[in-house]
């Protein structure tokens, strides 16, 4: 079987492969930083909660999954200490989910890992090349209709349930 030259792949395939490899690299760094049970899909839940608490039904809708599926993920992350769940002050049937201190620490670990990766890339790429790469990927995001979801932190996780 012939080797594949990454430089000859189309931009969509190359960006997916690079993104997948980067996600795995970042997840390993996050786990080393004291969060060994986190998965990539958990990051999508965290993104939905950065702006503040939300209900399980709203979280399910934002993630594009059933309320039962969202409840399962919330229960898992709550048991791991990353989320808190409290009844709504106005309707006891509604539960509000929020990031716990540990959840905020995991977000900071992820931000730190991404910053470290960017710094590492700048050793081999200059700032101008890095800026060109970001523009190319942003154009791909725009061409595929993903800009608005990205702006609003509403990117849905693949295969969340």
CATH of domain 36-148: 1.10.10.10
CA–CA dist 99, 134 (Å, integer): 29
Looking at the chain, list the stretches that DSSP marks H as alpha helix, in order from N- to C-terminal side. 11-32, 40-49, 56-63, 67-79, 101-124, 127-143, 147-151
Spatial contact of 131 and 138, defined as CB atoms under 8 Å apart: no
Average pLDDT for consecutive 10-residue bins of the chain (161 residues)?
91 94 97 97 94 93 92 96 90 90 98 97 94 94 92 78 52
pLDDT of residue 158: 73
User: Whole-structure pTM over 0.75, yes or no?
Assistant: yes
């Amino acid at each position: 079987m012939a080797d594949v030259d990454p430089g000859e792949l189309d931009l969509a395939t190359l960006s997916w492969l690079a993104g997948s490899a980067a996600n795995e690299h970042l997840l390993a760094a996050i786990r080393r930083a004291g969060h060994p049970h986190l998965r990539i899909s958990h990051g999508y839940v965290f993104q939905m909660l950065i702006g503040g608490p939300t209900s399980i039904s709203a979280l399910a809708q934002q993630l594009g999954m059933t309320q039962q599926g969202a409840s399962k993920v919330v229960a898992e992350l709550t048991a791991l200490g990353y989320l808190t769940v409290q009844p709504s002050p106005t309707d006891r049937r509604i539960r509000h989910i929020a990031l716990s201190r540990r959840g905020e620490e995991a977000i900071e670990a992820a931000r730190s890992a991404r910053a470290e990766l960017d710094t590492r890339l700048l050793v081999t790429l200059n700032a101008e090349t890095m800026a060109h790469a970001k523009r190319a990927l942003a154009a791909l995001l725009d061409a595929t209709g993903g800009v608005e979801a990205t702006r609003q932190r509403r990117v849905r996780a693949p295969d969340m349930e």
